[in-house]
Structure 1
Amino acid sequence: MSYLDAGASGVNSTRTPEPQQTQLVDEAVKWLVLMHSGRFNEADAQRCAHWRGQSSEHQRVWESVEKLNRQFESVPGSLAMPVLNRPRVSENRRMMLKTIALAITAPSAMWLGYRAIPWDSLNAQYRTGTGERRDVALADGSQLSLNTSSAVDVVFDARQRLVLQRSGEIHIQTAHGPQAGARPFVVKTQQGSLQALGTRFVVRCTPDRTRLTVLDGAVQVRPLHWSETQIVPAGQELDFSADRLGAKVPALPGVGQWVQGVLYAEQMRLADFVAELARYRPGILRCDSSVADIPVSGAFQLNNTDRILEALAQTLPVQIQFRTRYWVTVAAR
């Protein structure tokens, strides 16, 4: 398998949806969000029925979006309406539509398991949306980077330097020096705490587990319901839950390269690669089982996920099927 270059041009895929169809999908998603918001009144119902009755294509798109929504857990109204009302979103219609479509169609890191993720993740001190990354210089000189759909709060006081990781994935390079060393640097997730021992490391959270990868130095891990700790050295990673500590294993190559805007793969199953890529774009991105085991290797620039899909289609025996901008399948050619 050759080394894939995401900068390649051209595409070998099925037809991209027409702008009119994409607009209809956007409108249908907005109606669906409003319908599940708890604020859907009789006048709204009449307007929605009028929209659906404008043409057979309106009705077909509505049925497709409604069917898609049934495949996933509906977003509660208390989440959906703030998305509609956020000032930043109202200033940028395109971003609003992406956010709404994500909320309805994809269980991303922000939306998946909303019952388990603390409400604070939506109002965290530092957070990123889908496909966004952010670098933060902390008060002690440490460097914090947030990957896509991530949220943290930072609490520094006289006793400790604390990062409360609400969701997503972060990269930390701790500061050196006697002043920094006087206070422990701790990351807390829903599953436990991680104390840096002069180090650079990556922490990735899901609702039921935390994955630690240590790049330099070492990190001490303590699950929430355990009294014992585990020290993880550089080049190792482990998963843990609130009541279980996994085994240390060699870190996968390329972990943390998202800080430089790169998604790295080395003989990765296509299904796993597509699942990783899906974290960086709104909507559904899935891999057909017939091509799931094709190996992928390469370094892919995350600033344009469409070009990554193009590169897959040019190099592998696959095609990219666009049902809509938010519903994409990697399938056999």
Structure 2
Amino acid sequence: MVTTYAITVPDEKQTERFERRRRNKNLRRRAVLPTTMLWVLALLMLFPLAWFLLSSFKPGSELFSYPLSFFPKEWTLDGYSAALDRIDFARYFLNTAIVATVSTVFTVFLCATTGYALAKYKNPWLSVLGLFILSMTMLPGEVILNPMFVVIRDLGLYNQLAGVIIPSIVTPTGVFMFRQFFISVPDELMQAARIDGASEYGIFFRIMLPLARPIALTLAIMSFQWRWNDYIFPLIILGDPDQFTLQIALRALVGAENIEWTILLSASVLSMIPLVALYLVFQKYVTSSNINAGLKD
């Protein structure tokens, strides 16, 4: 009597499925340590921010009581109401919004046009201009505060919001970002548009600028944050309390012998709301935009 055995040979799909599962398991095992470290770093960074936010809901007597408590024992909004009553919060908020918004619009537009010219037009003086603009990144902002103040004063812009806006509308970082992006755009795209009868302005506004939308949104978020949190330059240019920005007004709450901590914490939280809202609105557009849209390999 002859005994026969059946040997099952796995097909290619089963083999691929097995290999895929094994690779995924190895990847998950390798990602445990980096993921854990990232979560620990995120919690370490989140802890002081959460303490700051929760402290704005504490009464003044509880801020320095011992032992310290993370969560408020008595939740109160007195700090927020005092911040809106004790300082002209609406005026300072509006001044800061004007400076940040107008500066951001001009910064994105002028940096885009300058970066486009440096990337796509061949001219010796443009190369010299680009060298001067990029060399500004080597100078700390404090070095040029004195000459910039003299220029603003001589132009008659002292104690005006325009004196804060105009010097900050062109940033070397923004010009460099747009220049590097426009260099990656093939010249054939511009040549095809010229053959179709598009003007130079049409090429920039209808083709180049839409392609650079991720760069524009990224620079807009960065610029708005810079101008909203700027303290030194507005402090030098603005001497009239009616023209103060929010950061200068918050600094005025810090006295020589006494600090209104409840008002300072609550007003600081209110000043953060536009930045958080801006990030929540535009973050998905920046992360989801394809920076290579319309480009060829």
TM over 0.5: no
Instruction: State the TM-score, normalizing by the size of structure 2.
Output: 0.23
Whichever structure has more strand as a proportion of its residues is 1
Larger RCO (alpha carbons 8 Å, 6+ apart) = 2
Structure with the higher helix share, 1 or 2? 2
> Which structure's CA Rg is the greater one?
2
